[in-house]
């Protein structure tokens, strides 16, 4: 596909305000963008989208009151048929008039179970899939792959509760997650994700950088002697608040001076205001890479303290982040809060990091470049855990249709060099159809596994 002015569709599940964030990045590059909403987020209820395809959307036809309110079968059945035809016509219009489809949280794209993927490919359209966490992060697999992460009962309980019922968002059960992932791996021209959420992946993928509109952030590095510290846990167990607060209390008792601003259940606009005036932001202790709050903190000029496990999440390397977890929280915060020069270097390096990797125009350009070509020569991540070590918990049987999808992905994208096909089949991970002797299955170059393919992060001055 030629990369002139593209018609780009961005949708359809809202997470952390990312649909308009991605759309703005594409618009900055001069592309035509349509935002489509299928599932809203309660924290962003005031957001406006170009097209609403949710089941609760009002009918496209404005019926007279006596028709709209009628319960008579003679009125209700024809009314429903006309509404369905009208929705189908709108759906077909969306498919026809766009070149690139960027789906966030793709358990629901334009259709339930992504029925349009094959059609889009046949029509010469391009598909970019952005995975955002619990859409594909199975908790049992996550805990298997990252056994070295400090955890607690509160962490595991909140993590399971959060991903068991995500405010009505689609596709959060194990089988739904796996089916969504395999469809994307089979059909998408581009997949963007991260290792801590792609625990079930078998296809190589590119690294996810969430877009940030830096024009909306005031970068202020106060460099105070007595730092202002912000901790804004959305989920206290997941964020590790039960370890953060005792560590801060201990430091205060020892005479370390700081001003703590604990923000829980506070609107996002107030959190951003507080970050602009803060010296230090403490995010979470148990997930190995930063999230949205961390990006907002770095963009605002805060020194960021959060879990930063480069052994689990190597890309990009040398991130300007002060690593904290529940095992070292006291020692790490003691040094950070006592060293103004360290805080200042981290804050300035953090802002440059966001500018380099997360600027919305940069993120959008990368998606267009990768999605509209035949694919990068090599990917950022080559997942091996599912194929080599994943063990299904009791009761999490993988249905036959998903096993067949896995086999199709393997036939198209290959496997690590030391994975036995028979082992995956015996473990109930995939079908053996067409794979009995392994003939024709491409094996990845061992030099690609675990090697960093992104550049170095900007180091603090």
230-246 pLDDT per residue, tens: 999 877 877 889 999 99
Are the beta carbons of 431 and 399 closer than 8 angstroms?
no
Residue 165 has what pLDDT? 46
Residue 45 vs residue 152, higher pLDDT: 45
17-30 pLDDT per residue, tens: 899 999 999 999 99
Rounded average pLDDT over 56-85: 75
Cis peptide bond N-terminal to 170, omega within 30? no
Same domain (yes/no): 17, 144:
yes
Same domain (yes/no): 167, 128:
yes
Same domain (yes/no): 295, 373:
no
Domain boundary among 315, 341, 357: 357
pTM of the model: 0.88
Residue 425 has what pLDDT? 92
Q: Minimum mean pLDDT among 326-340, 341-355, 361-375: which range?
A: 361-375
Structure confidence at residue 456 as a pLDDT band (50, 70, 90): very low
Same domain (yes/no): 39, 175:
yes
Q: How far is CA 309 from the centre of its chain?
A: 17
| Residue 236: CATH number of its domain | 3.40.50.2000
Same domain (yes/no): 271, 284:
yes
DSSP conformation class of 317: B
116-125 pLDDT per residue, tens: 999 999 999 9
Domain boundary among 315, 338, 357: 357
Structure confidence at residue 266 as a pLDDT band (50, 70, 90): confident
Residue 394 vs residue 56, higher pLDDT: 394
**Can you tell me which residue has the tokens 């429903």?**
80
Terminal Cα-to-Cα distance of the chain (whole angstroms): 42
CA atoms within 13 A on the CB side of 92: 6
Same domain (yes/no): 373, 263:
no
Q: Minimum mean pLDDT among 13-27, 80-94, 413-427: which range?
A: 80-94
Query: Exposed/middle/buried for 147, CB within 10 Å: 0-12, 13-18, 19+?
Result: exposed
Rounded average pLDDT over 8-19: 92
Residue 60 has what pLDDT? 64
Q: Give the span between the Cα atoms of 350 and 461, in whole angstroms.
A: 11
- Whether 451 shows a pLDDT value over 60: the answer reads no
Highest mean pLDDT among 133-137, 230-234, 304-308: 304-308
Residue 376 vs residue 382, higher pLDDT: 382
- Whether 154 shows a pLDDT value over 70: the answer reads no
Q: Give the span between the Cα atoms of 95 and 213, in whole angstroms.
A: 28
Residue 218 vs residue 360, higher pLDDT: 360
- Whether 101 shows a pLDDT value over 50: the answer reads yes
Rounded average pLDDT over 176-192: 95
Strand stretches in 393-455, DSSP E: none
Residue 15 vs residue 357, higher pLDDT: 357
Same domain (yes/no): 345, 374:
no
Residue 323 has what pLDDT? 97
Average pLDDT, the chain: 87
Residue 4 has what pLDDT? 82
Domain boundary among 323, 357, 391: 357
Number of domains the chain is built from: 2
Domain that holds residue 130: 1-211+359-461
Residue 2 has what pLDDT? 59
**Can you tell me which residue has the tokens 């003679």?**
74
């Amino acid at each position: 596909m030629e990369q002139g002015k593209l018609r780009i569709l961005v949708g359809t599940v809202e997470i952390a305000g990312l649909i308009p964030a991605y759309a703005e990045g594409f618009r900055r590059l001069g592309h035509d963008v349509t935002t489509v909403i299928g599932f809203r987020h309660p924290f962003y209820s005031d957001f406006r989208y170009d097209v609403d395809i949710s089941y609760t959307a009002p009918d496209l036809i404005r019926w007279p009151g006596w028709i709209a309110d009628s319960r008579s079968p003679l009125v209700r059945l024809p009314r429903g048929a006309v509404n369905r035809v009208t929705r189908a016509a709108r759906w077909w219009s969306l498919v026809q008039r766009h070149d690139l489809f960027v789906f966030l949280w793709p358990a629901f794209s334009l259709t339930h179970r992504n029925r349009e993927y094959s059609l889009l490919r046949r029509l010469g359209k391009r598909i970019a899939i952005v995975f955002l966490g619990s859409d594909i992060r199975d908790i049992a697999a996550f805990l298997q792959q990252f056994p070295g992460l400090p955890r607690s009962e509160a962490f595991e309980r909140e993590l399971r509760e959060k991903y068991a019922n995500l405010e009505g968002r689609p596709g959060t059960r194990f089988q739904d997650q796996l089916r969504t992932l395999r469809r994307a791996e089979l059909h998408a021209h581009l997949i963007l994700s991260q290792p801590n959420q792609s625990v079930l992946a078998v296809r190589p993928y590119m690294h996810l950088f969430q877009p940030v509109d830096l024009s909306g952030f005031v970068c202020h590095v106060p460099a105070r002697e007595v730092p202002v510290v912000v901790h804004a846990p959305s989920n206290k167990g997941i964020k590790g608040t039960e370890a953060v607060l005792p560590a801060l209390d201990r430091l205060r008792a020892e005479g370390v001076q700081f001003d703590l601003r604990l923000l829980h259940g506070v609107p996002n606009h107030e959190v951003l205001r507080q970050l602009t005036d803060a010296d230090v932001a403490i995010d979470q202790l148990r997930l190995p890479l930063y999230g949205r709050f961390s990006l907002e903190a770095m963009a605002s000029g805060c020194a960021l303290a959060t879990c930063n496990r480069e052994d689990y999440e190597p890309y990009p390397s040398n991130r300007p982040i002060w690593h904290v977890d529940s095992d070292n929280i006291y020692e790490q915060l003691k040094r950070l809060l006592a060293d103004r020069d360290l805080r200042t270097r981290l804050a300035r390096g953090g802002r440059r990091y966001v500018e380099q990797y997360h600027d919305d125009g940069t993120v959008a350009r990368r998606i267009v470049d990768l999605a509209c070509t035949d694919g990068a020569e090599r990917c950022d991540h080559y997942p091996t855990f599912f194929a080599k070590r994943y063990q299904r918990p009791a009761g999490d049987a993988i249905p036959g249709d998903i096993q067949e999808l896995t086999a199709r992905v393997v036939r198209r994208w290959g496997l690590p060099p030391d994975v036995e096909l028979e082992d995956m089949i015996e473990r109930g991970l995939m079908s053996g159809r067409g794979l009995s002797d392994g003939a024709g299955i491409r094996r990845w170059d061992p030099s690609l596994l675990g090697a960093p393919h992104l550049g170095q992060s900007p180091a603090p001055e």
